């Protein structure tokens, strides 16, 4: 039976929301100046972005969401003051096979290690499996991101592929690890509640 009381976009300390083109570019621009954040979130080379460049990215994201229908981009906001603290993304969705990839990140250093990532991942999985009815999700993580690897394992993700020495960071070569979680595994962990 569907529990209509389940909040789709809210957890204890965070909520998902849309992009705010007025305030978010300035905030996310600051995150891009943090090389650690950029390297934890993305596999592309890190580079600082101006607020105008971030705004252009937002416009491209919204266009892709509207036209391609295989990207779901959520901002993560603190419930206490509605400030932007991160982003949660479902992307590269293959509707025929029910597969999607996910990424999430908490922007400012002072907002990390407070449980926001766990709450965001919980909401994102509920959205992927209950709302979109995906069969499986994948997260690709560089081996140096031990925090993300622990988080995904805590949620029942299984290591599926390890691309040995696939990523070069500061002259050091790292493995790239793909973690996967099936809808049925997620439901078993949540006792069918979702």
What does the pLDDT look like over 76-91, one tens digit per residue?
999 999 999 999 999 9
CA distance 74 to 10: 12
130 lies in some domain = yes
3 lies in some domain = no
CB 139 within 8 A of CB 101: yes
Instruction: Quick: pLDDT tens for 143-170.
Output: 999 999 999 999 999 999 999 999 888 8
173 lies in some domain = yes
| Host domain of residue 126 | 14-189
Q: Global pTM?
A: 0.90
Retrieve residue 6's tokens.
Answer: 């389940």
Q: How many domains does the chain have?
A: 1
Query: CA-based angle 102:108:109, to the nearest 5?
Result: 105
Q: What is the pLDDT of residue 45?
A: 79
9 lies in some domain = no
84-108 burial, b at 16+ Cβ within 10 Å, e below that, comes to bbbbbbbbebeeeebebbbbbbbbe
CATH for 84: 3.40.630.30
7 lies in some domain = no
Q: What is the pLDDT of residue 193?
A: 53
CA distance 111 to 81: 13
Q: Work out the average pLDDT over 11-18.
A: 93
1 lies in some domain = no
Specify which residues 91 forms β-bridges with. Answer: 101
Q: Which helix (H) or strand (E) holds 67?
A: helix 51-68
Q: Which helix (H) or strand (E) holds 76?
A: strand 72-78
pLDDT above 70: percentage of residues in the chain:
95
Nearest to 32 by CA among 48, 44, 21, 56: 48
Instruction: Quick: pLDDT tens for 106-132.
Output: 998 898 889 999 999 999 999 999 999
194 lies in some domain = no
Instruction: Quick: pLDDT tens for 30-82.
Output: 998 988 888 887 777 788 899 999 999 999 999 999 999 899 999 999 999 99
CA distance 33 to 30: 5
Q: What is the pLDDT of residue 139?
A: 97
CA distance 180 to 156: 9
pLDDT bin (cut points 50, 70, 90) of residue 1 is: very low
Q: What is the pLDDT of residue 2?
A: 46
118 lies in some domain = yes
């Amino acid at each position: 039976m569907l529990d209509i009381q389940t909040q789709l976009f809210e957890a204890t300390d965070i909520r998902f929301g849309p992009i705010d083109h007025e305030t978010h570019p300035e905030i996310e621009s600051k995150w891009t100046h943090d090389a650690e954040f950029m390297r934890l979130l993305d596999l592309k080379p890190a580079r600082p972005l101006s607020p105008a460049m971030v705004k252009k990215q937002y416009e491209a994201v919204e266009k892709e969401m509207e036209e391609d229908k295989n990207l779901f981009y959520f901002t993560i906001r603190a419930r206490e003051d509605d400030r932007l603290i991160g982003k949660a993304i479902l992307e590269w969705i293959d509707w025929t096979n029910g597969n999607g990839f996910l990424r999430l990140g908490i922007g400012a250093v002072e907002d990390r290690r407070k449980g926001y990532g766990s709450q965001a991942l919980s909401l994102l999985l509920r959205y992927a499996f209950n709302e979109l009815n995906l069969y499986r999700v994948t997260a690709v993580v560089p081996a140096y991101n031990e925090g993300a690897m622990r988080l995904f394992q805590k949620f029942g993700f299984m290591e599926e592929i390890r691309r040995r020495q696939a990523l070069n960071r500061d002259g050091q070569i790292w493995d790239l690890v793909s973690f996967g979680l099936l809808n049925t595994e997620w439901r078993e962990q949540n006792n069918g509640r979702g």
